[in-house]
Structure formats: structure tokens, C-alpha cells
């Protein structure tokens, strides 16, 4: 996920981009928001699991 691999100079751009995306999502119907939350949760868990296994 680009957010986790960002260089320092890219963080502001990514933060701004995510803010725009979350703003767009905030206007979606609740069912669409549930799907997006589930996708985000899955990606975050995948990233965390990868970090744990790489440390191990």
C-alpha cells in the first residue's frame, strides 16, 4: 500500500489524496461505506500480518 511505503516528501501528497477520497466516500450510501471499510480493514490486517511475519 502506497501509504506505508511513502517517502517523506510524498506524505503530504498522499495525505491530501486520501483526504479527498475519504471526503468522496463520506457522501456515499451507508452500504457502500461498509464495503469500503471492509476493504480498508482487510488491507490493514494484511499489512500488519506481513510486518509481523517479516520480523519473526
Q: pLDDT tens, 3-53?
A: 455 566 678 888 999 999 999 999 999 999 999 999 999 999 999 999 999
The range of the structural domain enclosing residue 47 comes to 2-55
pLDDT confidence of residue 13: 85
Triad 45, 19, 3: Cα angle to 5°: 40
- CA 36 → CA 1, 7, 41, 52, 53, distances in Å? 15, 25, 9, 24, 26
The total of structural domains in the chain comes to 1
Give the global pTM.
0.70
Measured between alpha carbons, how far is 36 from 32 in angstroms, rounded to an integer? 6
DSSP annotation of 56 reads -
pLDDT confidence of residue 12: 82
pLDDT confidence of residue 56: 72
Amino acid at each position: 500500500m502506497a501509504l506505508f511505503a511513502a517517502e517523506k516528501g510524498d506524505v503530504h501528497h498522499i495525505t491530501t489524496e486520501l483526504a479527498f477520497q475519504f471526503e468522496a466516500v463520506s457522501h456515499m450510501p451507508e452500504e457502500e461505506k461498509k464495503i469500503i471499510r471492509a476493504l480498508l480493514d482487510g488491507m490493514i490486517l494484511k499489512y500488519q500480518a506481513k510486518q509481523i511475519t517479516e520480523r519473526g
